[in-house]
Structure 1
Amino acid sequence: MATTDRIPDDALTALPDPLAEAVREALADWPADEALPDDPEVLRTLPRAWACSEFITRSCQRCPQRLRDLAESGDLTRRYAADELRDNLATALSEVRDEPGLHLALRRFRNREILRIAWRDLVGWADLEETLRDLSELAEACIDLPLDILYHWLCERMGTPRDGDGNQQRMVVLGMGKLGGQELNFSSDIDLIFCFPESGETDGRRPRDNQEFFIRLGRQLITALDKHTPDGQVFRVDMRLRPNGDSGPLALSFAAMEHYYQHQGREWERYAMIKARVVGGDYQAGEALLADLRPFVYRRYLDFGALEELRGMKAKVMAQVRLKGMEDNLKLGPGGIREVEFIGQAFQLIRGGRDRRLQERRILHVLDYLREIHLLPDYVVSELTEGYRFLREAENRLQAIGDRQTHEIPDNPLDRQRLALAMGFDDWAAFQSRLDRVQHQVHGHFEQVFAAPQAESDEGSEPSALDVLWLGELEPETVRGQLGELGFDDAQAVERRLRTLRESSVARALSRQGRHRLDRLIPLLIGAACNADQPDLALIRSLDLVETIARRTAYLSLLVEHPMALSQLIQLCDGSAWIARYLAHHPLLLDELLDPRSLYKPLGREALAEELREWLRPIEEHDLEEQMEALRLFKQTNTLRVAAADISGAVPVMVVSDYLTGIAEVVLEEAVGVVYRHLVARHGRPLCRMDGETVEAGFAVIAYGKLGSIELGYGSDLDLVFIHDTRGEAQQTDGPRPLDNPVFFARLTQRLIHVLNTQTPGGVLYEVDTRLRPSGKAGLLATSLEAFARYQREEAWTWEHQALVRARAVAGCQALCRAFETLREELLCQPRAPEPLREEVRNMRERMRDEKASRDPGLFDIKQDRGGITDIEFMVQYAVLAAAHEHPELIRYPDNVRLLGALGRCGWLPNGDADRLAEAYRAYRGRLHRLTLQEAGGSVPAEEFQQHRETVTAIWERLMGGD
């Protein structure tokens, strides 16, 4: 039977005539003594595979046995299991005894597997993910397994490399680019870096330096992969991405690698290191190295300078594309593969230090996550994903035509037909139309991400009037005149502040690039400030912030790159000195200025809890430092949202405290969980036996003061008391390093306070005051509920029961929280003699006033002066302590406004006094919020609240008696 007779007719007739003829000719040349495989699926798909790929045709003709082996083994028609390809290579290399044998075995294995991968891709048996995975796993197996063989052979000749302590050293191979990202294409180079953990020498008869050993080993590996033999080559190896490129050593120690990237690493190397992955040798050591290099790649702050750098890199690529006429290049041309990668990697470099889920090597996973966190719209991600898949499939199938590394659209008609057929199109025109649409969409999205609408000016254009005003080329008088014309009231002060910044040590110390960014930003700030309500304050506060953050020039880039961020910065600085300083202290928050929809919309309690869980989820449980930083950034981000909504009037003043209190509660709850899990991992759970049953002892956080009364302000301390309920027998943790439960809870409290008030790069989370615990500074940090109850019943002062009015459980074991609330109800509802109680409360208030009230008769201290906030609070506390035994509803709420309402409803405050006090209290609180946002202290002119002061003082005298 003729060879062509075994091929189904419809499989040949389905091909375009020129390709069908080429297949017939190839079949006619098939060796007469070699049979085609018997598998019907292989015979049915053979015409398409051969038509699309000259490489497949040649490979089958040169080694017919290879095709039969693939068919008869079933490998051609099925998907490999995990590690199957690696196991197959291990079997193929098991009998290798020398380097020529190794080279031969590798090439034969590669030729078999590359034929299988290409065939499955071209006939539609494998999707893109399988093709890229198999190509990447083939390369990794061909690196790691031969490396191990060559290492042992070299150790036999030179001795085993060891560090100073005698520990054996092995090489680490880092795969870069598409190999690192497990996205290797069909005929790609493999980009590698060789390194080893420690310096030292071999233990042979003639000791050799470890670097010499690993350089020789690296050369042997390159030869094994890259050398051309009659059987071809395994992979072309490119080592130019190593430190110092071709001029650098072939293998470096970890210390040398870290020193290079810390002191000499360039932006493009950050970009390249995104995809770095261990692909051979000592995987565990390699992962440790990559973890140490992570700060070089992913900055802790938002690095918008990366956008400018990537834009520059792309411009250089495009210049080369135009110079070499490569506009039809699937990889580098407009709308090509590289532009999709640049989009994803721009977000990775900018935000990856803050969001570990962006520290991902595979571009499609990056795009999916950008959709999930709403940094790219759904339709953009869909079009980029669809475009990337189409371009990568076209790239693979183009290279499969001749097993050549090419990205250029073919210009000969036959190869065009091959590519169109491989991509599933009837003719070239249909394929070209789809390719044009994909590239147009990709390039459009690339331009949207990388455009800098306010940052780029035409090369060679004249500087603007604002540029000249800033650059110091005009006389001060002229600058003042221009500033006055722009609407600045105190032009002299503004000119002086601009000059001070321009001549400051900060500006002088900037790199050339940093100074360039500063010189682009300041004119934009001046222009934006002209439209503010208070142009002078808006600009001067903004300049103060810029001077604080300028050394990290990526923040300057953020403002230059994003008009919305710049606009929001001016608006916030215009409205609040506190926000301007807050941003200067926490510049990571500048990212929040990019989206006003979230900036001016603070989250409620449940949404806050969900957001914080999402922030903490990617962080490993043992990484306390990262958890602490995440808690700080979460608190700062959400505090900024509240303040922005506050100054814009988007939320009522009383609701501001609700939001700030909600933030603190959520942070405390998560902080308790973080610390508790850390301690339990080391010491086990705190257990005790009660009534013959073993139970886990609980822990709870009790909030006093402003947090307890849901009246938290910006920058408020947290007044906290910590309780637990261990009792009974066998009070001990159940871990490998057991502790007595009281010791466990003492350490839990100490660590919780450490998490809250330790200064870290992200600042302090909350200042914590624990002086309200039983016996104050002399008491235990964590007290059992029984001891707390005994102290409150037998030893507590009246002022401690006053404080209890504003106390509530805010975090920890729910059963213990409920037990505390029951105890609080009992303590506050005790009958008390009104007159002694009134005298104690009044005397305490007078002592406070003597210490803290204003001494200036022209000023009114809203909190401490007579008729102010503290008088209202003391009256409320006195009333609750005096009346709760008859009106238990008074202890339901801890906040003053609702307590005043309850006191009015039960008739304890007569003649509308409760309403008048509540009105004064709201007015005072609102004014204090505004003063805080302007950093203006807590005092106002004495006449400002004259009526409220007189009302509060009169009620005080009626309720508490004269002084």
Structure 2
Amino acid sequence: MTSIDVELRRLPPGLRPEVGQYWEAFAAAARAAGLEPPADGLLPRQLVPVWAGSEFVARACIGEPALLAELWTSGELARVQASGECRARLERQLAEVVDETQLGVLLRQFRRREMIRIAWRDLAGLASLAETLGDLTDLAEATVDAALERLHAWQSRRFGQPCDADGQAQRLVVLGMGKLGGRELNFSSDIDLIFTFPRQGQTDGARAVANEEFFRRLGQRLIKVLAEPTADGFVFRVDMRLRPFGDSGPLAISFAAFEDYYQNHGRDWERYAMIKARVIAGDREAGEHLLVELRPFVYRRYLDYGAFEALRGMKALIAQEVERKGMQRNIKLGPGGIREIEFIGQAFQLIYGGRDPMLRERGILAVLDHLAVSGRLPAAAVADLKQAYVFLRRVENRLQAWADRQTHDLPDNELAQLRLAHAMGQPDWEVFADELARHARAVSQQFAQVFGNAATDAGTHQEELAVVWGDEPGEEGALWILAEHGFEDPVLAWNRLRALKNGFSYRAMSPRGRERLDVLVPRVLAAAAAGPRPAATLERVFNLLEAVARRSVYLALLAEHPQALAQLVKLCAASSWIATHLTRYPLLLDDLLNPATLYAPLDRRQLVSELDQQLARVPAGDAEELLNALRYFKQGSVLRVAAADVSGAMPLMIVSDHLTEIAEVLLCKVLELAWTDLLLRFGPPECVVDGVKREARFAILAYGKLGGIELNYGSDLDLVFLHDSVGGHQVTAGPRQIDNTAFFAKLVQRIIHLLTTRTGAGDLYEVDTRLRPSGRAGLLVSSFEAFAEYQQRQAWTWEHQALARTRAVAGPAALTERFQAIRREVLGRERDPVTLRREVRDMRERMRAELDASTTETFDLKQGRGGIADIEFMVQYKILANAHRYPDLLTYTDNIRQTDGLERFGILSVADAARLRNAYRSLRRRIHLLKLQEQPARIPADEAREVRKGVSRIWRRLMESD
């Protein structure tokens, strides 16, 4: 029994007769051609399943037995095709071509040979899906480019070379669209092309024609040589309907006309189509420049949530067509099909691609991978979509490989069903159909998750409140409805509704924007009514809606994603500060889409990684986008902390820890960016110490709230800058040498610029440098030696108090250790306790006189008697008075752990330490909550009275008993 017989027996019974007949015909044809058909060995083991899956391959081999022998002996069926190999083979095929007729014949012969090779490897299980789609794409690209190259040369002999007004030669640019552009071409696909050329002009020959006419004729010839059916078939069917103005538009247009079309006439579906546009032939350099120019049309600078609405509309039209034509069995356009997977990925591309270059990939699998990595889609959902895509594309290729015919419909006769199931590795149609249905369900479910109809009504409450927005019941009826729905101040809510409806923002909106707001407002009313203080919440949300009214993409986000609107209302109800933060930076509304990440602040490692990823997306040399990226990172990171904070899941100290880490990560990155920028211009700062040259270094010290790890929302940064340049030859080593003092001055200026420059995304932090040596009169950056000298010999006691809360937060570890040594030496010296107490007390009294905003009715939590400043001064006094005996008191810079140390060494009693800690936490928490409501740090005078009295008693005992 031969290998052929064995392999035929392995086929399902229904497929054996057909493949057996192919083999008999092939054997006869081979012998007639003087070839011995290989009935044994590896070839028959591959041949049987391939012919069972492709009548096209079987008949091609029967018609030309030598072709199969050549493919087999060359090893091309066994190995992965190298980059450029397809084009090289084609060039050899076309080496002697002399005219258009011969070109058409040779291209068709080459295409048939390559399609046999590709289908064989696919059906024999020798190629992955990516290899199959890539080989098909390479074949199309090579044939188009090679044909264009020869047709251009032949046409130029007749008309001359096309040139622009400056005499520069012009060449056609061919854009591949759809699956060709995405390198995802299927087995029997049309190729979607667009023809364009750089500039108008005319040819330089004796029979001159305008460039547009030259390229129109060239395009027609290219389409004919590729797509005209002949005795040899065709190369590729060509579809030109994606060009500007479609079938009614010119076949080839200039770049200027091309850009003008998309700027003034481009529609949503054309943005969708341009995602995959790629230069596949002709003047590639010019074509790439054109695509860069068109990028703002495809990928908007700001997040474009209107894409959901546009793509949902496109999907609805497709669904209507599917229903009308009875195409439910269509694996491309039907429910859960290939197009739904593509729509999911491309919706995110259109929305986020302007900000995230990683989403500008043309291939859908790469896009899905990035959606998982970035967290925009759950990893499990992406895995399901990728598995479904691979399965469906393999089905698509097997449907088309059978007869080299473009089809996406599942077969309805039993033999064809059995053939497809076998080609997909399934024992029968039922098992295959179950697997197909599983993938289709997964795709449909995810499609519904992403594109679910946001216009679905939320119920009776929303309907009643929609009546109020529509002004149907009049004022009296509206007030009654608002009161019935829980608005504690219906008059305030009604007036705010009228102000929005009659205000400039609403009247100035586009019709689409008004439609979106009309959908949103009843939902906002219903959501606000379900929470505390609905009228106040409504005021905060409406302020935001008015702020983003001109950019209705944000209205689209909230209209498309009810969960985002729910989070917005919840956060605005909880905190006026968060509401203002979102109003100032509406880009953060995107963060509301995923509550799992919204309420989960990042730790330091995650912050560093997230910042690096965001900065990696910034185009090289784009200073404005760099500033924006830093600011978006900060605003988004702070929002996460605030959301977790108001949810009640995070203690105050942890909130401050997170806010402090955000600031430190940004300071380290800003220092890195500024340092790199100056190195490029001036080279590294160097100095010579004891005859040895070394690089001078730089560190940033944090005082105040940042130094004490007590940062709050909106806190500024108290910073001091130090360098360690000493000795001789203190100059930079770059092409433009400057002395190190100037280098570090420029470095600090650059750091402050990066931190404080205000853009559309706000600023990073306000920076206060007044705590540097000699204050405003001192240098902006000092050497370590000068800093140490100042602290030892000139600093006031209050400056040593400030030093007790100071840390190095950016710079090399060696400089951190050096600063810590200076700090220990300065703070650890022995002091006269009486003098020290008097100086600390006097400074506190001066501060109180100048800053205490307490009145008979209110208490200033920070500066009032018995408040936070009193606690801090007592702790700092005790640290300075005792650090010479207990150096470990200097380990920490935050007030709570410093108090712990004073208790541990017996300097404060257990009772006093506990009272001070509890008071400090309590008062800070009150300040924190007031900050979240954008209120000043003051409370009614009768509140926290016992806490203040306890602090004041300890103050009198420790600070007033000379």
Could you state the TM-score of these two structures normalised by the residue count of structure 2?
0.92
Contact 1:37–1:71 (8 Å) recurs in 2: no
Q: Name the structure 2 match of 1:11.
A: 7
Say if 1:778 and 1:106 are closer, same or farther in 2 by CA, change over 3 A.
farther
Q: Name the structure 2 match of 1:938.
A: 937
Alignment of 1:861-880 (within 5 A): 861-880=860-879
Contact 1:240–1:246 (8 Å) recurs in 2: yes
Cα deviation, residue 722, structure 1: 1.8
Contact 1:189–1:237 (8 Å) recurs in 2: yes
More deviation, 414-423/918-927: 414-423
Say what the alpha-carbon RMSD is for the aligned residues.
3.3
Contact 1:37–1:43 (8 Å) recurs in 2: no
Structure 2 CA distance for aligned equivalents of residues 562 and 272 of structure 1: 25
Q: Name the structure 1 match of 2:113.
A: 112
Q: Any idea what the Cα deviations from partners look like across 1:680-726, whole Å, max 9, x if unmatched?
A: 34544444443444433322111111111111110011111222223
Q: Name the structure 2 match of 1:297.
A: 298
Cα deviation, residue 925, structure 1: 1.1
Say if 1:949 and 1:32 are closer, same or farther in 2 by CA, change over 3 A.
closer
Contact 2:426–2:432 (8 Å) recurs in 1: yes
Contact 1:401–1:415 (8 Å) recurs in 2: no
Which amino acid is the alignment partner of residue 721 of structure 1? V
Which amino acid is the alignment partner of residue 863 of structure 2? Q
Contact 1:645–1:651 (8 Å) recurs in 2: yes
Contact 1:13–1:20 (8 Å) recurs in 2: no
Cα deviation, residue 578, structure 1: 0.6
Say if 1:245 and 1:772 are closer, same or farther in 2 by CA, change over 3 A.
farther
Cα deviation, residue 932, structure 1: 0.7
Residue 30 of structure 1 aligns to a residue whose secondary structure is helix
Structure 2 CA distance for aligned equivalents of residues 299 and 165 of structure 1: 34
Contact 2:30–2:66 (8 Å) recurs in 1: no
| Gap runs ≥5 in structure 1 | none
Structure 1 CA distance for aligned equivalents of residues 176 and 805 of structure 2: 60
Structure 2 CA distance for aligned equivalents of residues 141 and 775 of structure 1: 72
Residue 133 of structure 2 aligns to a residue whose secondary structure is helix
Could you state the TM-score of these two structures normalised by the residue count of structure 1?
0.91
Cα deviation, residue 774, structure 1: 3.0
Say if 1:403 and 1:911 are closer, same or farther in 2 by CA, change over 3 A.
closer
Q: Name the structure 2 match of 1:650.
A: 649
Contact 2:175–2:193 (8 Å) recurs in 1: yes
Contact 2:26–2:65 (8 Å) recurs in 1: no
Structure 1 CA distance for aligned equivalents of residues 660 and 756 of structure 2: 17
Residue 145 of structure 2 aligns to a residue whose secondary structure is helix
Q: Name the structure 2 match of 1:329.
A: 330
Contact 2:335–2:444 (8 Å) recurs in 1: yes
Q: Name the structure 2 match of 1:235.
A: 236
Q: Name the structure 1 match of 2:269.
A: 268
Say if 1:755 and 1:12 are closer, same or farther in 2 by CA, change over 3 A.
same
Cα deviation, residue 331, structure 1: 0.8
Q: Name the structure 1 match of 2:131.
A: 130
Q: Name the structure 2 match of 1:27.
A: 26
Residue 32 of structure 2 aligns to a residue whose secondary structure is coil
Q: Name the structure 1 match of 2:801.
A: 802
Structure 2 CA distance for aligned equivalents of residues 155 and 677 of structure 1: 52
Q: Name the structure 2 match of 1:455.
A: 455
Which amino acid is the alignment partner of residue 659 of structure 1? H
Say if 1:553 and 1:838 are closer, same or farther in 2 by CA, change over 3 A.
same
Residue 531 of structure 2 aligns to a residue whose secondary structure is coil
Q: Does 1:747 align with 2:762?
A: no
More deviation, 163-172/73-82: 163-172
* Identity level (%): 54
Q: Name the structure 2 match of 1:791.
A: 790
Structure 2 CA distance for aligned equivalents of residues 759 and 207 of structure 1: 56
More deviation, 880-889/708-717: 880-889
Residue 270 of structure 2 aligns to a residue whose secondary structure is helix
Cα deviation, residue 76, structure 1: 2.7
Contact 1:845–1:871 (8 Å) recurs in 2: yes
Q: Does 1:364 align with 2:359?
A: no
More deviation, 787-796/178-187: 787-796
Contact 2:158–2:207 (8 Å) recurs in 1: no
Say if 1:368 and 1:335 are closer, same or farther in 2 by CA, change over 3 A.
same
Q: Name the structure 1 match of 2:814.
A: 815
Say if 1:185 and 1:631 are closer, same or farther in 2 by CA, change over 3 A.
same
Say if 1:456 and 1:28 are closer, same or farther in 2 by CA, change over 3 A.
same
More deviation, 710-719/345-354: 345-354
Say if 1:433 and 1:644 are closer, same or farther in 2 by CA, change over 3 A.
closer
Q: Any idea what the Cα deviations from partners look like across 1:9-33, whole Å, max 9, x if unmatched?
A: 2234444244235415643772753
Say if 1:531 and 1:125 are closer, same or farther in 2 by CA, change over 3 A.
same
Contact 2:544–2:583 (8 Å) recurs in 1: yes
Q: Name the structure 1 match of 2:679.
A: 680
Which amino acid is the alignment partner of residue 238 of structure 1? D
Alignment of 1:136-535 (within 5 A): 136-152=137-153, 169-197=170-198, 211-412=212-413, 414-452=415-453, 455-457=455-457, 464-535=463-534
Contact 2:30–2:36 (8 Å) recurs in 1: no
Contact 2:308–2:347 (8 Å) recurs in 1: yes
More deviation, 296-305/700-709: 296-305
Say if 1:745 and 1:105 are closer, same or farther in 2 by CA, change over 3 A.
farther
Which amino acid is the alignment partner of residue 77 of structure 2? L
Residue 126 of structure 2 aligns to a residue whose secondary structure is coil
Contact 2:528–2:538 (8 Å) recurs in 1: yes
Structure 2 CA distance for aligned equivalents of residues 63 and 738 of structure 1: 74
Residue 279 of structure 2 aligns to a residue whose secondary structure is strand
Structure 1 CA distance for aligned equivalents of residues 127 and 910 of structure 2: 84
Q: Does 1:70 align with 2:66?
A: no
Structure 2 CA distance for aligned equivalents of residues 654 and 7 of structure 1: 76
Structure 2 CA distance for aligned equivalents of residues 47 and 530 of structure 1: 69
Say if 1:411 and 1:595 are closer, same or farther in 2 by CA, change over 3 A.
closer
Residue 464 of structure 1 aligns to a residue whose secondary structure is helix
Contact 2:26–2:61 (8 Å) recurs in 1: no
Q: Does 1:548 align with 2:544?
A: no
Cα deviation, residue 896, structure 1: 2.1
Q: Name the structure 2 match of 1:709.
A: 708
Alignment of 1:74-93 (within 5 A): 74-93=75-94
| Gap runs ≥5 in structure 2 | none
Say if 1:328 and 1:765 are closer, same or farther in 2 by CA, change over 3 A.
same
Structure 1 CA distance for aligned equivalents of residues 684 and 147 of structure 2: 49
Q: Name the structure 2 match of 1:695.
A: 694
More deviation, 345-354/82-91: 345-354
Say if 1:20 and 1:540 are closer, same or farther in 2 by CA, change over 3 A.
same
Say if 1:91 and 1:623 are closer, same or farther in 2 by CA, change over 3 A.
farther
Say if 1:163 and 1:65 are closer, same or farther in 2 by CA, change over 3 A.
same
Contact 1:37–1:67 (8 Å) recurs in 2: no
Q: Any idea what the Cα deviations from partners look like across 1:173-210, whole Å, max 9, x if unmatched?
A: 32221111111001111112333455666666787665
Q: Name the structure 2 match of 1:830.
A: 829
Structure 1 CA distance for aligned equivalents of residues 128 and 530 of structure 2: 55
Cα deviation, residue 58, structure 1: 3.6
Structure 1 CA distance for aligned equivalents of residues 248 and 576 of structure 2: 53
Cα deviation, residue 929, structure 1: 0.6
Structure 2 CA distance for aligned equivalents of residues 101 and 696 of structure 1: 70
Cα deviation, residue 660, structure 1: 0.9
Residue 935 of structure 1 aligns to a residue whose secondary structure is coil
Contact 2:108–2:233 (8 Å) recurs in 1: yes
Which amino acid is the alignment partner of residue 601 of structure 2? P
Contact 1:22–1:51 (8 Å) recurs in 2: no
Say if 1:72 and 1:919 are closer, same or farther in 2 by CA, change over 3 A.
closer
Structure 1 CA distance for aligned equivalents of residues 729 and 105 of structure 2: 70
Residue 583 of structure 1 aligns to a residue whose secondary structure is helix
Residue 529 of structure 1 aligns to a residue whose secondary structure is helix
Contact 2:262–2:297 (8 Å) recurs in 1: yes
Cα deviation, residue 791, structure 1: 3.4
Say if 1:649 and 1:45 are closer, same or farther in 2 by CA, change over 3 A.
closer
Structure 2 CA distance for aligned equivalents of residues 404 and 737 of structure 1: 67
Structure 1 CA distance for aligned equivalents of residues 544 and 534 of structure 2: 15
Residue 29 of structure 2 aligns to a residue whose secondary structure is coil
Structure 1 CA distance for aligned equivalents of residues 81 and 571 of structure 2: 58
Structure 1 CA distance for aligned equivalents of residues 16 and 536 of structure 2: 77
Residue 437 of structure 2 aligns to a residue whose secondary structure is helix
Cα deviation, residue 338, structure 1: 0.9
